[in-house]
Every structure is written in C-alpha cells, then in structure tokens.
Amino acid sequence: MAKKKSNTPGRNRNADKGGTLAAAPVWENESPGRWPESLAPWRTALFMAIASGALAALAYGAAALGGFTALKITLAALLGSGTPENVYTSNYDIATVIWGLGSIALAGYVHPALGISLLVLGRSWLDGYTFPLDNIYFTWSIYLLCMLWAIRLLRSKRPLHFPPPVLIFAAVIVWIFATAPFSIQYYNTSQMLWLWLGYGLLFLLCLNTSRESGVSNILLTVFLVALGMQAVFSILHFEFLLPYLRKIVQNPAVLRRYFNTDVISPEMARRFMVNRAFGTMLFPNALAAYLLLGIPFVLFMTVPYGRAFLGMLRQLPAAKTEPESRLERAVILGIAIAFGFGVFVFIQFVAYFPIEYRANATALPLYLRTVPLFTLSLAAGCVSGLATLFLLMRLGLKRWWVGLRSVATVMLAVILLYTLWITYSRGAYLALFASVTWAGIVYYIPPARLHRLSARFRRRETAALLILLPTLACLSVILVHAVTSGNSWAQDPSAAAAQAPGPSPGAMPVSRGVKVNEEGISLSMSDLADPASFRLRLGYWRVALRIALHHWLTGTGIGNFSIAYPRYQHVGAGDVREAHNGFLQFFADTGVVGGALLLAFWAWFALWGARRIILEEYPHKKLFLLGIYAGLIAFCMHAFVDINFSHPSLMMLAMAWAGLFYGHAAAAPNTDPNPEEPVPTGRRRLAARATACLLPVIILAAMAGSARVYFQQLSLNRMRFINLSCESELNRRMEAGLFFFKDLAQFAFRRDAGEKNLTLPRLPLSKALLIVDDLDELKKGCTFYKPIPDQVGRFARMEKDEPVPMNALVAVTRPWMVREMAIRSCLKWIEELERQDRRFPHSPILALHIVRWYELYANLNMPEFSAQEPEWIAKYLKWSEIMVQRNPCHADMRMFYTNSLIWKLLEAYGTEKDALPAKIEEEYETILQLSPITPQHRHMYAGALDQLADNATKQGLETDAAAYREKAQKLRDAVKILEEQRREAHLYQ
C-alpha cells in the first residue's frame, strides 16, 4: 500500500472562510509560488520559454527577410507542383506554423498541460469552420502532446485513468471510423475523422494531466485569460472594426479576395448589417457558446475569492512579508515587470482600434497619433509595474495573488457578461439562465437527500419520467409552432419589408449587390422577443429528423449534413448548412448508434457530475466543480439550438473543459483535496504501459492519414499555410482559364467580323501568369500597363524595355496567338491536378475542376489539336463519372455529369447514343429527387428536354420530340408554382 500524506482530510477552516490562494483550489498547505512536482524543473521550463522566444525571433525575422520563400519553392517541387516558383509570397504563415508547433512541443516537454494551455490560448483565433484544414495544426499538436505524455507514462509509475466517459467517447470515435465507408461523401468525412480523434485524445489528455491541482490551475488560468482576450477583442471588434468592415466590404476587390464574389449576397448583407458581436468566431452564436463555458465558473468563484480577499484585508495590519531568497526577489521583480509590460501592451492594443478604424482619428498626423499614446501607455505601464512591485514586497506573493485574483474575477465577469449581451444570442441567454438555475439546485441538495432520492426512485417512476419528458418536449414544439408567426430579421428581409414601413431589421434591403450601411442595424427588445427564428429552426429540425430516420443505421457520414439536407428539404425549411441542433445532427450524421453514444457521453456528465458535486463537502472545491459543470451544461443546452458540435474551436475547448472537470472530480469527495497519487497495481501499470505503447501507433497512423489531404491542399494552395483551402486558388485558375479560352475567342471573332472600337481584353498580370507563366512569351502578344501613383484604378502604358511590375495590367493585342499559348500551357496545370488527385483520390471539388478543364478542351474544335482531341474527350467523360462517384448525392455535381451526357449525344460521340436520351432523363429525375424545391434544376431539365427534342427532330422522331416538349412545358409550369410557394414562405431569395 502506498503511504498517504499526513495532513488530515476533511474541511479546512481557513478555506471555509475564503482563504484560498490560487485561480483554482489551492489549499491552505500549498503556496501559489510552489512549483508543481510533475513539471520539469523550473530551470528547464525557463530554458524552454527562452527557446520559444528565440524560435519566434528567428522565424519571424526570417519571414520579414523572405527567408522561407526558398523553402516553400523546395516543398512545392517535392510535392509535385508544376510551377514551384509560383508560391504564395508571404512568409509569415509558415513562420507562424513553425513557431506555434515548436512552442507547443517545448511547452509539452515541460508538461503536456502547458502545451494544452498554449493550444487553448490560440484555438479561438484561427477559424476552423471556414477553413477546416487549418484544424490539422491543432490536431497534430494534440497528437504531439499525446506522444510526449506516452513517454511520461512509460518513464513514470503514475496510474492511467480510463473513467466511463473516456470509454463512451472512444466508442463514438470507433463508430465514426466504422461507418466512414458508408458515407455519402467520403472526402468530408475523412477530414472529420482526424478531428474527432483529436477531440477524444485531448479529453483523455486533459483528464489525466489535470489531476494535480498545481498543473490544472495553470490550464484553468490560461483558459480564463483566453476567454478574457476573446471578449475584449469582440467588444473592440463590435464597436470599431465592424463599422469599418461595412465600409470596405463595398469594394469588389475585397469581396473577391475574402468571399470569392463580386457582389454582396443577402446572407452576407444580413450578417454585416445586424449589430452583433462575433469576434474571431465567425458567428455571434458561436462566440456566445464559447463565453458560456467560462461565465458560470467566473460568477461562482467571485464568492470564495471575495471572501479570501476580505480575509486578507483583515490580516493586513499584521502582515509583514519580506522576500526570503534571491530567487523569490527575482520572481517578484519579474512579475512586476511582466505586469507593467502587460498594461503597456493592453493600452496600445485597445487604443489601436479607435485610432485605426475611426476616420476622425486617422486624420491626425502620425506623431500626434503615436507619441502621446506611447507616452501614456509607458507611464501607465511604469506606474502599474511599480505599484505591483510595492504590493508584492509589502504583501508577498500569497496575499498579492489573493487580491489580484478577486479583483480580476469581478472585472472578468463584467466583461464576459457584457460580451454575451452584445452577441444577442437568445439561446445563449436561456442556456445560461437554465444552467445557473440547475447549478443552484444541485448546490443546495444535501448528500443525505440524494441517497433518499436514489432509494425511492424505482423503475416505475423512471419509466414514467422518461415518457413524460419527451411528451412535454413534443407538446412544447407543437405549441410554439402554432403560436409563432411571420417574419423577423431572422427570416426573409425583403418579405418583412412589405410589413414594416420604417428602417428596421425586418425591412433591411438584401437584394444582390445591396449597399451595406456603415452604422448597421441594432436589435431592439421586440426583436429579441420575436420567436420567428425559433420557428425557422423547427424547419431545420424536421428536415434533420427525416435524414436521421432515413439513414438510421450508419447515418450520412459525419460532415455531410449540408449535402443530404436539400434532398429532404421542404418548402418552408430554410436553406442551411447545419441543423442548428448538435444532438439531432449527430444522429443524422452517424446513425442511431453514434447519436446515442454522444448523447450518453453528455448525459453521463450531467448525471454523474451532479452527483459528484452533491457529495462534495469541501465548499471551495464544490463551487469550483460547480462552475465548470454549469458552463458545460450551458454549452450542451445551447447545442440543442446551434452548431456547437460542428464548430472545431468550440468542441476542442469544450472537451478540454470537460477533461479539466473530470480530472478535478476524480478524487473521492470529502477527502484530502490534493492527495498523493497511489502507486498503481500490476494490472493498472500494465494497462498504462500498453496504452503508452498503443498511443504512438494510433497517432502515427492518424498523422499519416491526415497528411495525405494536407499536402494535396497545401500544394494546390501555392504553399499558403494559413487559411488552407485550395478551392479559392482553383477558382482563380479557372477564371483566368475562361478568359483565355472564351473571352479571347469572342473578342477575336468580333474583331475578325469587322467590328470597330473594341476594347482590348485585359486582366491583371498576376492572373495571367497563372496560365502562361513565361512573361517573355506574354510580351509577344500583349501590352502592359502600370498603375498610376495616387490614382486608384488608372493605368499608364509601359515602354517595351521597362521592367513589368507584378501589379501591372495585361492587354491582349494578338488574341489567337495568346490563346494558343494558354491552351498549351494549361495542359501542364491539368497534369498537376491529376497528379495531386492521386495523392488523395477522394476530393469531389478537385474532380469537378478537372472536368471543367477537360470540358474546355473537348469544345475547342481547333484543327491544330485534332490529334489530341479524342484523348481530351475520353478524359472529360471519364472524370465526369469519377466526380459523380465521389459525391453522388450532390445535385450540382450530377448536373455536370448530365451535361457531359448531353454533349456526348449532340456530338454523336461513341456507340451508345441511342440509350443516352433515357439515361439523361434518368439522371435529371435523380437530380430532382436530390433537390426537390430548387427551381433552377427544373429549368435546366426543361432546357435539356428541348435539346433532346431538337435532336429527335433531326433524326425524324417527331413523336419523341413532341413528348419531350410536352414534358418540358409541364416542368416550366411546375417551376412557376414552386417559385410562388417559395415566395410565400418568405425564406428564399
């Protein structure tokens, strides 16, 4: 038997009075300055911190000098890029990746919890929803930390903890992997596999590394700091940056750069116009969900922290503290300097927003904008640092921390609550209220009452409750559906405009190309009380329920809800990518088994967590656990009405928070709150070592699997390491290709036909080089124009011998010659696409772009390329079939395939042309099944029937031609009815 500590278990009287000493329950016998035993020695930690700073200096210094460009070119060549020298010019992206992964590795060497802390600190600042592959850096960081933890397990004798929630979540991951082959689109599912494996490993890692209070205090403090940073930024973003974004978003160049469009869509206008805070989380509701995790904890802990502060104040007259050693003096001096520097940086950061994004402030000269602010910030930093030094010398680390903690907690609570308010997320308001209410009930239930309730709660009562709760929920949904009415800012703004005479959220104009006002639209209490957005969600939930019932066993495959949704959508259900109910969507994605397992995971947390808190008799720890518990309960409640489980940042933070709860709750209630770890028995030691050996195998396999798609996207994204998505780059290439293939041909035909005063076709040089990468070749058939300084949009013609800048404009003077150059050059690009596709042959987007390129070549009809034309046609038809195989449930993908069949019929290509009309009709019927309420597909079906009718007429099949035309007319009549139904629903544009 292992020996236990000599301190007496049970309550600590001083702690009952609030005499706790750290951000988490640091007990009376533990000083906040104590270095946790499980961490590497403090000298090692200091060395790792210095190494991280040196790595940052080296990485960003090299980036500033362009030192990583050669590395990018080398990587591009190794990954098979056809033009490796044409890489993304900025070096700061790769510098950030190198420094981030390196710092996490260095911190993880000191202790895995420190690596998790850095992960938590940076998670919310990189959007993993718009750019899903950016999440790979975080999952790889988790894998790396797990490897370091596995090494610790092999070297130490600490036990490994596998409580039931770990096993349940492991079953969730196993089921996701098991059902992946049955996914309706494997590419999306494959990206989610590694992400959910990362969630599970992060949960396991946090649970096992946070059992020591000193380590978990660091993780907790960093979590709250990250929450506060995001809240402050969201407030500044709401007050200053959002109006500025509304101003610059009118620029088509900005829209093309960040949104891949030239006009403001209705959804984009709605998001920018409504004054709601969202910070870096992309959506106001996502920011609200993040805040929900921490707000209950901050609110609850103000009570014990405040008591500790008051107790410290009463002891001040007797407090005489002097540093005992040089090390303590150095620590005190370091804290004072860091605190002063933090105040300096904070003032600079806050002041940056009004100076940069308010027009009246930017009109000042540079020295008036910088010198006074710098002086004020420096003075405030010096005063804060000196005041901190005085208090530390006077009070000592212990009492200073008590005071700072209590004040900071109150300030953080105010900031978080205000930030939550300006998200205007009604679901978050209700979730916070319900969770705090439930937490209050749990807190005041005595343990004896729990035992009596457990004894009385028999099977019959349990069955009655299980029947009653769903019945009440269904009746509530029916009642809300019956009483909710019409339109609100959450629905179709153009329809609501007919009902509201003045400018209001409902009357906001949202036609294409709409102007976005800089002031935006603020929500009123009547808007918050309007239940129409909930009624909108009811439509999403009905469709999600239909998907879940139809795919009840294996689901559609995780990540494929948006693909399956149109097939089951009815008129009255809005267009949406997520179900806005995380639990229901998980049933739709993974089937009844996966949904039940995820529900069981959170149900175990809710029930076991409540029981654990009720049985805890140590007041401080009870409040501590209750704060984390209430935050996660609020998060789960909010997940019933939003996308919490689909947002990678939110899920990672929630799993870390849950692991922290289980780690702290692992100790038995009413015992020594910081017990010494028992020496594991032979069986547990064997399990720990087996897990430590198995983890690296799982992690290496996961990294190898995720690296395939990562390197594919990285190469196609021109070695751009942040905002990792090749789709925008593929679209840029296609736009440039259409210019050379179609625009130049149209211009040349019009010029050859004798039209006068034609404007020369032109495009930016950067786009032209995407197709014809030889500038000297372009000079043979083009004229170049350089921008005129201080005249936006004006260009001056360049002389022949003048160096051509990259921001030049290209005007094509010899279209046929330049077009032929592009045709020959683009073949290399298609070869690169095919080569990258072999790296991970599952991407439907990549297959779609290959189809579009071969379609251009199949329609060339140029004598000089007649020998290659059969090969291009064959590949066009082949890749059309591959594209549909990779995404068979996507109506637009099938449209491209059907177009290839129509082309094959009209060009009389192949020997099966007699069977093609029936196959074309069959494909269009499938398309209508996949998108029953989309009028455009019926329009295109009718157009295809007209083409079939014309073809039948040419062949003398008048009866068939008449049948095709009759069916086309019925489709057009159905389109009119469908469009009228959509207008009456006030949900569609």
Sheet containing strand 762-764, strands side by side: 762-764, 809-812, 782-787, 795-797
Residues 260 and 330 in one domain: yes
Helix extents (H) in 484-503: 493-497
**Whole-angstrom distance, CA of residue 986 vs CA of residue 976:** 16
Decide which of 646, 668, 690 is a domain's last residue: 668
**Residue 5 token pair:** 């500590």
407 to 29, 293, 396, 400: CA distances (angstroms):
23, 20, 17, 11
Concatenate the DSSP letters of all residues of 569-636 into one string: --TTSPP-SS-S-HHHHHHHHHHHHHHHHHHHHHHHHHHHHHHHHHH---HHHHHHHHHHHHHHHHHH
> pLDDT per residue over 385-399, tens digit each?
898 888 888 888 888
The residues facing 50 across adjacent strands are: none
Query: 368 lies in a domain?
Result: yes
**Backbone dihedral angles phi then psi of residue 514, each to the nearest 5 degrees:** -65, 145
d(CA 451, CA 455): 6
Which tens digit of pLDDT belongs to each residue from 222-271? 999 999 999 999 999 888 888 777 777 776 666 655 555 666 656 566 66
Cβ count near 24 (within 10 Å): 25
> Where a domain ends, among 628, 650, 668?
668
Q: Are residues 652 and 784 in the same domain?
A: no
How many domains is the chain partitioned into structurally?
4
Place of tokens 């928070």: 657
Tell which residue, 720, 714, 952, has the closest CA to residue 839. 714
Mean of the per-residue pLDDT values of the chain: 83
Instruction: Report yes or no: 586 and 598 within 8 Å, Cβ to Cβ.
Output: yes
Per-residue tokens: 980: 């009228």
Q: Are residues 334 and 248 in the same domain?
A: yes
Q: Tell whether 23 is covered by a domain.
A: no
Q: At what angle do helices 648-665 and 213-236 cross, to 10 degrees?
A: 150
Half-sphere exposure of 839 (CA within 13 A, CB side): 23
Reduce the secondary structure of 623-674 to three states and give it as a string.
HHHHHHHHHHHHHHHHHCCCCHHHCHHHHHHHHHHHHHHHHHHCCCCCCCCC
- 609-629 pLDDT, tens digit per residue, is 999 999 988 888 899 999 999
Single out the residue in 668, 689, 706 at which a domain terminates. Answer: 668
Note whether residue 557 is domain-resident: yes
Q: Which backbone phi and psi does 722 adopt, to 5 degrees?
A: -110, 150
- Separation between Cα atoms, residue 654 and residue 634, nearest integer Å: 11
In tens, the pLDDT along 467-521 reads 655 555 555 545 444 444 443 333 333 333 333 333 333 333 333 455 656 666 7
632 and 746 in a common domain: no
For residue 177, which of 698, 622, 602, 618 has the smallest C-alpha distance? 698
The predicted structure's pLDDT at residue 639 = 96
Find the domain containing 941 and state its range: 890-989
Same domain, 552 and 656: yes
Phi, psi of 504 (to 5 degrees): -155, 170
Whole-structure pTM value: 0.87
Within-domain flag for 415: yes
Task: Identify whether 622 is part of a domain.
Answer: yes
Q: Are residues 410 and 292 in the same domain?
A: yes
Instruction: Return the ∠ at Cα 475 (arms to 470 and 479), rounded to 5°.
Output: 150
User: Rounded to an integer, what distance in angstroms lies between the CA atom of residue 747 and that of residue 754?
Assistant: 11
Q: Among all chains, which residue has been given the structure tokens 């009209």?
A: 906
| 644: in domain | yes
Average pLDDT over residues 341-369: 72
CB 524 within 8 A of CB 274: no
User: Is 858 domain-assigned?
Assistant: yes
Please indicate, yes or no, whether residues 262 and 344 belong to a single structural domain of this protein. Answer: yes
Number of H helices, E strands in the chain: 38, 4
Judgement on whether residues 950 and 827 belong to the same structural domain of the protein: no
**Residue 882: other Cβ atoms inside 10 A:** 18
Q: 751-805 pLDDT, tens per residue?
A: 999 888 889 999 999 899 989 988 888 989 999 999 888 777 788 998 888 888 8
Buried b (16+ CB within 10 A) or exposed e, 47-71: ebeeebeebbeebbebbeeeebbee
Q: Are residues 385 and 338 in the same domain?
A: yes
Place of tokens 């010659």: 817
Count Cβ atoms below 10 Å from residue 776 Cβ, excluding itself. 6
Please list, in sequence order, all residues whose beta carbon lies within 8 angstroms of the beta carbon of residue 389, skipping any fewer than 6 positions away.
332, 333, 336
pLDDT tens track for 694-742: 888 899 999 999 999 999 999 998 899 988 777 888 988 999 999 999 9
Same domain, yes or no: 348 and 396: yes
Whether 827 and 895 map to the same domain: the answer is no
Shared domain for 433 and 548, answered yes or no, is: yes
Percent of the chain as helix, strand, coil, to the nearest 5: 70, 0, 30
Say which residue the tokens 């009119």 belong to: 976
What length does the chain have?
A: 989
CA torsion sign, 575 to 578 to 584 to 587? positive
**Residue 370 in domain:** yes
Q: Which residue has the tokens 């709250």?
A: 224
